[in-house]
Chain A
Amino acid sequence: MSEENKPAQEQAGEQQAAAPQKPEPPLTRLLRNNFGEVVLDHHDQHGDETVVITRERMLDVFSFLRDDHRCSFSLMMDLTAVDLMPRQPRFELVVHLKSIDLHHRLRVKVPVSEDSPEVDSIRDLWIAADWYERECHEMYGIKFKGHPDLRPLLLYEGFQGHPLRKDYEKGRQQPLVPLRPVTERYNYGETFHPVPEQPAPGGENK
């Protein structure tokens, strides 16, 4: 055994002892065995797992999660997105699933790039995702391929931009009724008192 190899071996042994490979939690392992490289990252806390998967095969993964008897995710609890600007990829789609039969939950994240904010719609797997995807579409500008009706849900026709994106100007408003100027208010029994000029909300006079 040469001098060069010995420390390396010891080092490896120490590392193994110091940080034993934590076994992957069951759902992550199941997904890795079935989809391999599709699972980009994972973590778990108190028995609730999170997996990060690629956008390209997300429909396959979600179908598997719903239909496989070891997953049996019959309930889609939440679907939303996060704007991680300036990180790239900028957006992250977040889906929370629950299995009513097996009493477990899973959080699935899908990174979405700013250049092509498009993901597959999971509305056909869980009809509950329909309105969540509409909301996500108007708030973050993420398109859901295969969704039949992406009309605004909470916003109105003609609203420009996506208000929950980090680069949407904070005070920008887009009124449907032109706002009246309010120059003074009347204190009854006393007198008029002037109202300080309101800063025009951005986009008010679009």
Chain B
Amino acid sequence: MGVNRSTPGTPDGGPAFVTTRLDAVVNWARKYSLFQYPFVTACCGMEYMSVNGAHYDQSRFGAEIPRFTPRQADVLWVVGTVNHKIAPVLKRVYEQMAEPKWVIAFGACASSGGFYQNYAAVPGIDRIIPVDVYIAGCPPRPEAILDGLLELQRLVQEEGPRGIKGINPRQMAGD
């Protein structure tokens, strides 16, 4: 986005018009209306609730509205341990989301399996579905979660949709 100051503006010297590209505007709109699908399976859910509540107030970033159907969601929040029994459900939820879509791995278990390196737990949900942002912590502090959300907003603004089926556009271009 750029502000054009070369032409005469308003009487007080402010900008007369703004030039931009369509995708920059669309991405700007996207990043402030990230409807979420919370896939909450474990204790990280408590921190998630805290962030979504009034105190930390996720709605400041336009990302508070949960959609309990994946078809209306933009961001999949995977909050908590995912085990092999529920992995098919997670994969199906992800596949039902419409493009563009993003995934946040919330906490140590979702990111890597955490300390559950055993017969039950998936060693990181990126072994099942592509992940955009990993938030560390067991559980993460609300500040870390908001940081992860801002990271996702930056990603949405700068890179836009992540290509088909979560393949990174840069990766496709061979960068």
Contact = CB atoms under 8 A, between A and B. Distances in A.
B88 interface: yes
Nearest to B175: A192
Contact of B126 (A156, A171, A177, A185): A185
Given A171-B117, A179-B128, A185-B126, A155 B151 contact: no
A174 B119 contact: yes
A116 interface: no
Nearest to A168: B119
Contacts of A146: none
A155 B85 contact: yes
Interface of B: prevailing SS:
mixed
B123 interface: yes
Main secondary structure of the interface of A (DSSP, over half): loop
Contacts of A141: none
A166 interface: no
Q: How large is the interface on A (under 10, 10 to 19, 20 to 34, 35 or more residues)?
A: 20 to 34
Given A156-B84, A175-B87, A177-B87, A163 B119 contact: yes
A140 B88 CA distance: 25
A177 B128 contact: yes
B27 to A, nearest CB: 14
A180 B168 CA distance: 15
Interface residues of B, number: 24
A176 interface: yes
A188 B127 contact: no
B119 A177 contact: no
Given A175-B122, A179-B127, A198-B123, A188 B85 contact: no
Interface hub of B120, B133, B158 (most chain A Cβ within 10 A) = B120
Contacts of A6: none
21 contacts: A154-B85, A156-B85, A163-B118, A171-B118, A175-B84, A175-B122, A176-B84, A176-B88, A177-B84, A177-B87, A179-B122, A179-B123, A180-B127, A180-B128, A182-B124, A182-B126, A185-B134, A186-B171, A188-B158, A192-B171, A198-B123
B73 to A, nearest CB: 20
A171 B113 CA distance: 12
A173 interface: yes
A177 B88 contact: yes
Contacts of B133: 188
A170 B118 contact: yes
A177 B124 contact: no
A179 B171 CA distance: 20
B5 interface: no
A7 to B, nearest CB: 60
A34 to B, nearest CB: 42
> Could you say which of B84, B87, B170 has the most chain A C-beta atoms within 10 Å of its C-beta?
B84
